[in-house]
Structure 1
């Protein structure tokens, strides 16, 4: 059970686009059974388990409903990655990780801008408004994943500069990227705008490559491995 201080830190780190959407139109969850939180999974890759539940729900949508939910979920997911990358730049020491963090900030900031623009031009929506339109189950799962990523961010924020931050960044980004790839892989056959399908393919390709590199560093630098 997270301490009150950790819960507070996590709440602060939830991206503004997500927080504002909850203020505009809270999603009614009382009648929806709560999915198993990633932090409650009995072992295994917890974030991936949560992401699989989320993407299974996304796959029930098509066309406009899918695109709005996909972008409303991917925007804050990218924002959390950018936040953690900035922590790595501020407190990490490995030049390889710092270079990856800078590339991530550049790429994902542009993707956030693209998706925000598309939501507006295609549907007349802000990210917050698109989030408010989500079905209850998708909205709840998205918030659960964001809370777990917020916990990772808050852990990094309490670490001293150096090796601990570097290792935490590697492990967090492997989990984060796997969740993004699972979501991106749902776009073909569900999205209708070719630009969004192309972006989803780019996300999956780039982040799969980074997962491979991050796993190599995790093994070589810290003697740990993950294959799930």
Structure 2
């Protein structure tokens, strides 16, 4: 799956346009205030919509689009490792509390796939740049550091909210509602390395990440629509 490389620093609109195409139109205004949807009884149709994708994810995608070469790779790898770890924590909660066989299977795949990429990306950071994920985080541009901090705080808030949901079908619904935007954020982060990473193996891994997460988002949306 290809994407169009940005030439020079793109506009916010350009970043959103590419993300919108990949997310099937499921985007939020770039600078809208992000708020989690309260978890409540899922019998109400309005609660069966996925939560919005964090606008900070779009801002971080724009930041990546303005970076080149080594700086692009290090910044992306520093962010995606933590992002994947958050998805794994969410998926492990689904395995503890969820009841849907389909959603639990997706959770198992998320743990396996994203743990594999974490190990792969951590190894590449060391091999290519002699950095640990923590060291990489410390040397990315200040703008990216601030956006990464916000994204981490949002992920932790999501995990805390999921931790407060009781086991059962309600947990399956809450997990899906929150994993869709988390995957959407990951897809946005993969865009630039997919087309412009220096190392071809990173371009391949980014393409695989987009493909896998798009497929899971489509399945999650179908499952969620079936609960209405």
Q: TM-score range by the shorter chain?
A: 0.7 to 0.9
Query: 1:38 aligns to what SS in structure 2?
Result: coil
Count how many residue pairs are aligned between Structure 1 and Structure 2: 185
Match of 2:35? Answer: 39
Preserved contact between residue 91 and residue 162 of structure 1 (Cα < 8 Å): yes
Quick one: which of 160, 166, 191 aligns to 2:197? Answer: 191
1:112 aligns with 2:108: no
1:121 aligns with 2:117: no
Task: Report the CA distance between 1:179 and its aligned residue.
Answer: 0.5
The whole-number CA distance in structure 1 between the counterparts of 2:35 and 2:154 is 7
Q: Which runs of 4+ in 1 moved over 4 A?
A: none
Alignment of 1:145-184 (within 5 A): 145-184=151-190
Match of 2:59? Answer: 53
What residue ranges of structure 1 are gaps of 5+ in the alignment?
1-34, 224-228
Q: Deviations over 1:17-40 (max 9, x none)?
A: xxxxxxxxxxxxxxxxxx876339
Change (3 A) 1:189 1:212: closer
The whole-number CA distance in structure 2 between the counterparts of 1:120 and 1:108 is 18
What is the RMSD computed on CA atoms of the aligned residues? 1.7
Match of 1:26? Answer: none
The whole-number CA distance in structure 1 between the counterparts of 2:200 and 2:33 is 33
Match of 1:5? Answer: none
Q: Deviations over 1:184-205 (max 9, x none)?
A: 1111443100010000000001
1:75 aligns with 2:87: no
